[in-house]
Amino acid sequence: MTNRIYNFNPGPAALPLEVLQQIQEEFLDFGASGMSIVEVSHRSKWFDDVINDAVDRTKRLLGLDQRYHVVFCQGGASMQFCMVPMNFLSNGRKADYVNTGTWSTKAINEARIQGKDIRVAASSEDRNFSYIPADIEFDSQAAYVHITSNNTIKGTQWAEFPETGGVPLVADMSSDIFSRIIDVEKFGLIYAGAQKNIGPAGVCLVIVRRDMLDLIPEDLPTMLKYSTYVNKNSMFNTPPCFAIYTVQLVLKWLEEKIGGLGKMEAINRSKAELLYGLLDSSEFYRPTADQDSRSLMNVTFRLPTEELEQAFVAEALENGLGGLKGHRSVGGCRASIYNATSHKAVEVLVDFMRTFEKKHG
Ligand SMILES: *Cc1c(COP(=O)(O)O)cnc(C)c1O
């Protein structure tokens, strides 16, 4: 335990220490079952309690009304890139996509592979995805508008969700789900790979509004239909039990230890302000995202040279600060400061950055 580092990994990422400790404590004997959570049946009361609690906590935390279903899929967020158009764009229906980076581009590609009628309504590719497009005109006939709420690699985030004139939003929230209060009314579907903000890899949380289910064609494979997951409480087949259990514990931590999304958002804003404050006051570090598009979760920045960036990442690790290298596709540095990365961790990072600048600046 004493050698745990301050973890700024982009994903899989830091989880709350309390959660890891609880997993460790009850790993051999879960809920007095005499078995580990990885040994009990997914058709047992032990696992039923776990998955139902995870669903209930998701509904409470996000304020979802009874129109919304919460399910757990496998295949990561990447599987959702294909399932969304497959389920909602049959019978000549079309959709609008906003391209704000690597993950949006992949979502667009997966719809195109299937020959679906989609349109890129706006893109920020002209300036290397360093901003979130504004004043977008959407097609009022679209079945949905797809956005990536937080762009993990480019370090941008929608501060306000776009006005779509009543067309439901479908959002990839993999890297900012449960990080702030959102107006869920606007969303027909939300998906999030767990390994950024809510758990280990292997499960993807999906929130789908009842009316969207009417769009699903009959002739899809069973495992690729949202209705299968809704009708079977995510247990048509064996679900990723351990991952769902960990998500349940993280949501419990968020509700009971942190005190809900309002509190979490305040902490996240304070962390981000501290870090961006340093970047803005320095000539040495250069933030890469436009000010009004900055992510509260992934803070991307450059140093004067690539050599200094390499030295920065290496020296940080020597000082117990891990995961600060930028994504291989963009270079530079990135501090991912998800829910489980503490305020203290960001304070230590900022101190380290000041010292590094004095030494090398
Ligand atoms: C990490 C990430 C993905 C990819 O998730 P997988 O679970 O690996 O498929 C997709 N979208 C966003 C926004 C991400 O951050």
Could you write out the DSSP letters of every residue in 73-132? ESSHHHHHHHHHHHHH--TT-EEEEEE-SHHHHHHHHHHHHTT-EEEEEEE-GGGTT-S-
Q: Is 157 in the pocket of ligand 1 (CB under 6 A)?
A: no
Amino acid at 14: A
What average pLDDT does the segment 59-82 reach? 98
**What number does the ligand 1 atom closest to the CA of 80 have?**
9
* 140 CA distance to ligand 1 middle (Å): 28
Q: Is 80 in the pocket of ligand 1 (CB under 6 A)?
A: no
- Tell whether the torsion through CA atoms of 154, 265, 149 and 135 is positive or negative: negative
Residue minimizing CA distance to atom 4 of ligand 1: 77
Q: Choose the residue to mutate in 73, 106, 132, 175 for probing ligand 1, maximizing ligand atoms within 8 Å of C-beta.
A: 175
CB atoms within 10 A of CB 354: 15
Q: Is 152 in the pocket of ligand 1 (CB under 6 A)?
A: yes
| Half-sphere CA count of 342, side-chain side, radius 13 A | 10
Residue minimizing CA distance to atom 13 of ligand 1: 174
φ and ψ of 18, to 5 deg: -55, -40
* 108 CA distance to ligand 1 middle (Å): 14
Q: Is 175 in the pocket of ligand 1 (CB under 6 A)?
A: yes
What does the pLDDT read at residue 46?
97
What does the pLDDT read at residue 361?
86
- Whether residue 294 contacts residue 300, with contact meaning beta carbons closer than 8 Å, is answered with no
Q: Is 174 in the pocket of ligand 1 (CB under 6 A)?
A: yes
Q: For residue 325, what pLDDT band results from cuts at 50, 70 and 90? A: very high
Query: Could you read off the pLDDT of 226-280 as tens digits, one per residue?
Result: 999 999 999 999 999 999 999 999 999 999 999 999 999 999 999 999 999 999 9
**What number does the ligand 1 atom closest to the CA of 152 have?**
15
Q: Which amino acids are annotated catalytic?
A: 103, 172, 196
What does the pLDDT read at residue 235?
98
**What number does the ligand 1 atom closest to the CA of 149 have?**
13
Q: Is 154 in the pocket of ligand 1 (CB under 6 A)?
A: no
Query: Could you read off the pLDDT of 180-190 as tens digits, one per residue?
Result: 999 999 999 99
What does the pLDDT read at residue 117?
98
Report the distance separating Cα 270 and Cα 123, nearest Å: 29
What does the pLDDT read at residue 206?
98
Q: Where are the domains of the chain?
A: 18-258, 260-360
**Average pLDDT of every residue of the chain:** 97
What does the pLDDT read at residue 286?
96
Residue minimizing CA distance to atom 14 of ligand 1: 174
Q: For residue 346, what pLDDT band results from cuts at 50, 70 and 90? A: very high
Class of domain 18-258: alpha beta
Q: For residue 2, what pLDDT band results from cuts at 50, 70 and 90? A: low
Query: Which positions ≥6 away from 208 have C-beta within 8 Å?
Result: 68, 69, 71, 188, 189, 226, 230
Report whether CATH 3.90.1150.10 matches the domain 260-360: yes
Q: Is 336 in the pocket of ligand 1 (CB under 6 A)?
A: no
What does the pLDDT read at residue 38?
97
What does the pLDDT read at residue 1?
53
The whole-model pTM stands at 0.98
Q: Is 275 in the pocket of ligand 1 (CB under 6 A)?
A: no
**What number does the ligand 1 atom closest to the CA of 78 have?**
9
